[in-house]
Amino acid sequence: MTCCDGHTATQTALSSSAETTGRLAEEELRAVSTILDDGLLNTVLVVPDMHCGGCISSIERAIIALPQVHKVRANLSSRKVSVTWDKDAGGGLAILKALDDLGFDHSQQADAEPVAKTVSNKGRQLLMSLAVAGFAAANIMLLSVSVWSGADAETAHLFHLISGLIAVPAVAYAGRPFFGSAFRALSARRLNMDVPISLAILLALGMGLAESLSGGSEAYFDACVMLLFFLLIGRYLDHMMREKARNSVDSLARLTAKGAVLVGDDGVLDYIALQDIKPGQHLRIRPGERFPVDGQIVEGVSDIDRSLVTGESESQIVRPGEHVEAGTLNLTGAVDMTATSDATNSFMAEITRMMETAENGRSAYVRIADRMASYYAPAVHLLALVTFLGWLFVTNGDWKASLYAAIAVLIITCPCALGLAVPVVHVIGANRLLKNGILLRDGSAFERLCEADVAVFDKTGTLTNGTPQLDHALYVRNEDKSTIARLAGCSSHPVARALARTYGTSSTCVLSDIKEVPGFGISACQNGKEIRLGRPSWVAELASRITPDADTATTAFAREGEPMAMFFLNDSLREGARQAIATISKSGLQTEILSGDRVAAVNRVADDLGITAVHAELTPAGKVERLQALQDQGLKTLMVGDGLNDAPALASAHVSMAPGSASEVGRMAADLVFTHASLNAVPFAHAIALHTKNLIRQNFALAIVYNCIAVPMAMAGYVTPLIAALAMSASSIVVVANSMRLNWLSPDVSVELPDRIEVINKTGTSAAIEAAPVIPNQPAIQS
């Protein structure tokens, strides 16, 4: 690329000098940095390629060596580097250059929290609660064991009092997540799992206090704190899973502009942040940048790539007077535009609004755990009431004994196992997906994914790669190949990049006077003769012989006075697409394509994949309408898409997936994001989701079996604190052990991701198939 920077810069009048570019980049960097109390700047850089200790140490060493840098800390888990630097002592660009020199890709993270806060406050609070509950549970258990093993009455009384002293503050501190959530549910006149949990904990605590103060022999302190400890584990795992997914999604490359270069009235260039752009301002968009807001081109010609915005796969030429949407990628030439909107009114903002409307529909989904709670909680409370009344009747009004029996029922039925049944399975499932490059943003996505009836795909960037690839070439002479590679390497146009990839970039041939002519192609001089690579009609001006089918070619190459070589490119299918569609159809889902691209292009892909339901040339709203129509027929939709235009559809579908290459808005709207290239991620995630559903059902069944044994015992008054402690731990352990089986259950073998086979084998799939009982296949699951 170094060969052409200088030339292309001088080629258009709109390009700026090197110093101006540097100054603007510096301003851009400062704009995304946080100013600390002592006037230093903190910049968070996302470095996705950081993989090992070697990377950490080379990055930290290189950056700390700069005089302006005070502190640098690389975080391997979140793939971010936090740099604290002094803007008075030197430029921030040196930091970026240090990373460039080491060969790491990087992007800046705007409005980032400093890396020191990657573990959110909520996670920290849960962890602290977990620690306190763990401390209390261990110590109270220690005291309880000695009581159970036969301490004399006086010692037992003392031990109960000490247990109470530990339990009360521990419950008050560590129980907050449950009490808060239960209170919110009750004030909204709903019941969730936290209501019976909170009630059981508080009653157990209250009863224990009453018992130990009155010198009684039974106290449930250990049961109540242990309950809290187990449930907090479930809660924390669930939180960690979401946090991890959020961090990973954050660290994918950013695709929206964070600001733009403002052209002042006097021609002075300034970098301004996205939110400061106002309609009517003149902005300069350089090649390789995305348009920050909607606008009208006033000067310059360029090719633009709308694939993320509208789904059109072929690039287009824009000329002065034409309109461009925010989010479009500028490919070849610098252009000036007049902003016609600000950031909150642009095309992108409109998409965001449509997504919010769509999401309101989905929030009606009730998680399986809460659905269970709506039956479970009333049943448990009713049982306790029946026990109380029954005991009153049998014992002729001994209300104290009756109350104890009723509380014992509440404690023993407390959904300890139920509280773990769902999160443990989700966390193991999410980890399994993560190992295969799939990020799960929310546990309930598993539940929704197995309900899907129709898989709806976007075309550009989802079923296809979204970038053109060389299909075949005609009349290319071998001696020209290195020249073509060299010339193509000078442009960022996707077609040129595809050619450069095909013909290799290691060429050493000497070219001079390289010019990129936006809308046409790229030209240069070699050995005194002009060569051109670009649109066939433009290249034909040079060529000695033109074949009649020249216009059908995507692009062409010619040397002055010599015959023309032609290249045919198309948007190739994403890796694994055929297999993925076949697997999805086999597992009983219908398939459908919704695309914004032209009918012919969509039909070609649909025929190739054997998908018959095809809708082309849809607007973002059209996609949402089609999904709505499917949902009105009672079908649950799985939407897979990547573009900005897919974002509202992703948000409105029952469940959605996006590739890692998707637009940011698309990624934020999707429940699952897959980072490997292969589309096999879709059937793989679906298969894992079906397994989680099965395991969760088994866990619920186990918990119910446990209750069927424990509840009659409690109602009959046979439950002592010792039995409660044993029964509750045993049921939790059984549920967790059952959930662990997800690590070995094999999804449908054919969906193994080709590029990750070694990882799958490492987790023991192949070895464990015989050892672990395999869950019945799909037909059984769908019943």
Partner 1 sequence: MSHLVILIPIALGLGALGLVAFIWSLRSGQYEDLDGAAERILIDGDEPAD
Catalytic residues: 458
- Residue whose CB is less far from partner 1, 81 or 409: 81
> Nearest 10 degrees: CA dihedral of 30, 34, 40, 44?
-80
Shortest Å, Cβ 139 to partner 1: 5
Shortest Å, Cβ 268 to partner 1: 41
Shortest Å, Cβ 131 to partner 1: 5
Supply the angle between the helices 681-716 and 416-435 in degrees, to the nearest 10: 170
- Residue whose CB is less far from partner 1, 135 or 475: 135
Cβ 277 vs Cβ 293: under 8 Å: yes
Shortest Å, Cβ 60 to partner 1: 5
For the chain, counts of helices (H) and of strands (E): 27, 27
Can you give 213-232 as a three-state secondary structure string?
Answer: HCCCCCCCHHHHHHHHHHHH
- Residue whose CB is less far from partner 1, 86 or 617: 86
Cβ 750 vs Cβ 579: under 8 Å: yes
* Structure-token match 């397994």, residue found: 691
Shortest Å, Cβ 120 to partner 1: 11
Cβ 648 vs Cβ 355: under 8 Å: yes
φ, ψ for residue 717, nearest 5 deg: 85, 20
Tell me, rounded to whole angstroms, the distance of Cα 558 from its chain centroid: 45
φ, ψ for residue 534, nearest 5 deg: 165, -150
Shortest Å, Cβ 53 to partner 1: 3
Supply the DSSP symbol for 783.
-
Burial 158-172, CB ≥16 within 10 A → b, else e: ebbeebbebbeebbe
Shortest Å, Cβ 709 to partner 1: 33
CA distance 230 to 403: 26
Can you list the pairs that 733-739 forms with residues at least 24 positions away whose Cβ atoms lie under 8 Å?
A: 734/417, 734/702, 734/706, 735/417, 735/420, 735/421, 735/424, 735/699, 735/702, 735/703, 736/420, 736/424, 738/695, 738/698, 738/699, 738/702, 739/420, 739/421, 739/424, 739/425, 739/428, 739/695, 739/699
Shortest Å, Cβ 253 to partner 1: 20
Supply the DSSP symbol for 646.
G
- Residue whose CB is less far from partner 1, 73 or 636: 73
Within 10 Å of residue 222's Cβ, how many Cβ atoms? 28
Cβ 531 vs Cβ 509: under 8 Å: no
CA distance 254 to 73: 21
Work out the end-to-end distance of the chain between its first and last CA atoms, rounded to an integer number of angstroms. Answer: 58
Measured CA to CA in angstroms, residue 94 lies from 23, 31, 670 at distances of 12, 16, 36
Cβ 543 vs Cβ 566: under 8 Å: no
Of 420, 413, 371, the residue nearest 733 (C-alpha): 420
Can you list the pairs that 123-127 forms with residues at least 24 positions away whose Cβ atoms lie under 8 Å?
A: 123/236, 123/239, 123/240, 123/243, 125/176, 125/177, 126/177, 126/232, 126/235, 126/236, 126/239, 127/236
User: How, if at all, do strands 329-330 and 69-75 pair?
Assistant: unpaired
Structure tokens at 413: 């039925």
Q: Three-class SS of residue 273?
A: strand
Residues near 436 by Cβ (< 8 Å), separated by ≥ 6?
676, 681, 684, 753, 756, 759, 760
Shortest Å, Cβ 41 to partner 1: 18
* Structure-token match 């809660």, residue found: 235
Shortest Å, Cβ 52 to partner 1: 6
- Residue whose CB is less far from partner 1, 71 or 319: 71
- Residue whose CB is less far from partner 1, 102 or 158: 158
- Residue whose CB is less far from partner 1, 159 or 503: 159
Within 10 Å of residue 378's Cβ, how many Cβ atoms? 13
Shortest Å, Cβ 246 to partner 1: 15
- Residue whose CB is less far from partner 1, 70 or 362: 70
- Residue whose CB is less far from partner 1, 131 or 389: 131
Of 6, 32, 8, 9, the residue nearest 106 (C-alpha): 32
Residues near 375 by Cβ (< 8 Å), separated by ≥ 6?
none
Where on the chain is the footprint of partner 1 (CB under 8 A)?
52-53, 56-57, 60, 64, 71, 73-78, 115-116, 118-119, 124, 127-128, 131-132, 135, 138-139, 142-143, 154-155, 158, 162, 166
Cβ 517 vs Cβ 535: under 8 Å: no
> Nearest 10 degrees: CA dihedral of 496, 502, 508, 509?
-60
φ, ψ for residue 305, nearest 5 deg: -115, 110
Shortest Å, Cβ 118 to partner 1: 6
- Residue whose CB is less far from partner 1, 71 or 122: 71
Shortest Å, Cβ 656 to partner 1: 28
- Residue whose CB is less far from partner 1, 167 or 308: 167
- Residue whose CB is less far from partner 1, 39 or 53: 53
- Residue whose CB is less far from partner 1, 86 or 625: 86
